[in-house]
């Protein structure tokens, strides 16, 4: 893939995530892809990641991924974005994030996502309140 192909793939992947199109998101992953988040240090499987994304789609229907930067790497792309949404009480919420994504044969083989842990905790706490 060319550098532009990686950037274009990143745009298609994020469009699927933004739309909540779980079939299109799944199609972007290699079956054995690993997805890691700095908040827990655990490598997720595709199935585990799909459950997390499904939760986000259900709980944050107004979510918006504001892409600040996306650049090609020799084997994928790096992206900086802000996830914005409303909390259950109507308050605005946002979380800064950066993802380093490896792509091989047109699918994601590894995604390492770094998010602000304090902003992530705020989101989880808000959704745990009765």
Q: Which pLDDT band holds residue 119 (cuts at 50, 70, 90)?
A: confident
In sign, the C-alpha dihedral spanning 61, 67, 68, 70 is positive
List the 92-104 sheet strands across, edge first: 43-44, 29-37, 107-115, 92-104, 76-86, 64-73
Higher pLDDT, 59 or 21: 21
Long-range contacts for 87-92 (Cβ within 8 Å, ≥24 apart)? Answer: 87/122, 87/123, 87/126, 87/127, 88/59, 88/126, 88/127, 88/129, 89/126, 89/129, 91/126
CATH number reported for the structural domain that contains residue 83 in this entry:
3.10.450.50
Domain with 81, as residue range(s), is 3-128
Residue 125 has pLDDT above 80, yes or no: no
**Which run of H or of E encompasses 107?**
strand 107-115
How many distinct structural domains can be found in the chain? 1
Predicted confidence (pLDDT) at residue 112 exceeds the cutoff of 70: yes
The three-class DSSP label of residue 51 is helix
């Amino acid at each position: 893939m060319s550098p532009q192909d990686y950037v274009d793939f990143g745009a298609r992947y994020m469009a699927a995530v933004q739309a909540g199109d779980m079939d299109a998101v799944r199609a972007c992953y290699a079956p054995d892809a690993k997805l890691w988040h700095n908040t827990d240090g655990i490598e997720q499987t595709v199935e585990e990641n799909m459950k997390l994304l499904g939760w986000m789609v259900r709980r944050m229907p107004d979510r918006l991924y504001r892409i600040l930067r996306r650049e090609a790497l020799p084997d994928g792309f790096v992206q900086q974005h802000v996830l914005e949404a409303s909390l259950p009480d109507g308050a605005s919420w946002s979380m800064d994030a950066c993802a380093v994504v490896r792509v091989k044969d047109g699918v994601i083989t590894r995604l390492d996502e770094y998010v602000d842990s304090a902003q992530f905790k705020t989101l989880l706490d808000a959704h745990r309140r009765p």
